[in-house]
């Protein structure tokens, strides 16, 4: 499949509901569930400057493009509107492209005349937002290793034993109304979480 680091500017726009519907939801993600290929998903919105710092990849069948990777030092990773690995690009500047090829999506992005490009992203319902105190947010699933997520977010953690015995890597984890301390080397994203904060 084709892929490349984008050095263009991205902006994400949601066209299925009025824009003020998202002002009450942070991060900018709707609670509305749509259907794509009989698989339920939610729509996310983000406003990101060029260069975005993501790798896009065409689906195996040649129709549709997803986010294959996010550079932890790029604009997408540091934006208040997160872009996650696995997000599907549904629209570029209000132009539908859920079934477009890689080249067609890139043409739409390159054709944007502003410093921001509007994108609409389809996101899996079971994605958990993991927010790190360095300002980076990554997408994960329940049970994912916190150490790998920290690495993906460019979040520095001091390790010693790396087996959970010494407590050197212990960090505060907030999920919903609960706060606890986890050892990052062996810690996992908790079940039934939607947003997790690591400090």
Each residue's pLDDT tens digit, 40-91: 889 988 777 778 888 999 998 888 999 999 999 888 888 878 899 999 999 9
Q: Which residue has the higher pLDDT, 24 or 92?
A: 92
The answer to whether domain 128-198 has CATH 3.10.20.30 is yes
What pLDDT score was predicted for residue 37?
53
What Å distances lie between residue 161 and 44, 72, 170, CA to CA? 39, 26, 12
CATH architecture type of domain 3-124:
Roll (2.30)
Spell out the domain ranges in the chain.
3-124, 128-198
What does pTM read for this prediction? 0.74
Confidence of residue 38 (pLDDT cuts 50, 70, 90): low
Residues 128, 133, 136, 142: what is their CA dihedral angle, to the nearest 10 degrees?
-20
User: What are the pLDDT digits (tens) for 101-157?
Assistant: 999 998 988 888 888 888 889 999 999 999 999 989 999 999 999 999 999 999 999
Is residue 181 over pLDDT 50? yes
Give the per-residue pLDDT at 35.
42
Question: Which pLDDT value is given to residue 14?
Answer: 34
Q: How far from chain centre, in Å, is Cα 162?
A: 27
Common-topology check for domains 3-124 and 128-198 = no
Residue 175's CB is within 10 A of a number of other CB atoms, namely 19
């Amino acid at each position: 499949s084709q892929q490349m680091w984008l050095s263009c500017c991205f902006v994400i726009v949601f066209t299925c509901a009025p824009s003020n519907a998202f002002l009450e939801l942070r991060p900018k993600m709707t609670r509305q569930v749509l259907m794509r290929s009989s698989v339920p998903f939610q729509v996310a919105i983000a406003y990101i400057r060029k260069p975005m710092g993501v790798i896009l990849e065409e689906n195996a069948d040649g129709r549709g493009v997803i986010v294959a990777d996010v550079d932890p030092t790029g604009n997408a990773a540091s934006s208040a509107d997160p872009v996650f690995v696995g997000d599907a690009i549904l629209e570029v500047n209000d132009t539908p492209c859920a079934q477009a090829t890689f080249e067609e999506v890139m043409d739409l992005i390159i054709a944007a005349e502003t410093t921001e490009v509007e994108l609409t992203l389809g996101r899996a319902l079971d994605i958990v937002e993991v927010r790190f105190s360095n300002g980076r947010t990554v997408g994960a699933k329940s049970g994912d290793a916190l150490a790998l997520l920290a690495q993906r977010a460019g979040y520095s953690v001091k390790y010693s034993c790396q087996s959970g015995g010494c407590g050197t890597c212990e960090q505060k984890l907030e999920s919903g109304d609960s706060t606890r301390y986890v050892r990052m080397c062996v810690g996992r994203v908790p079940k039934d979480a939607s947003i997790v904060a690591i400090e």
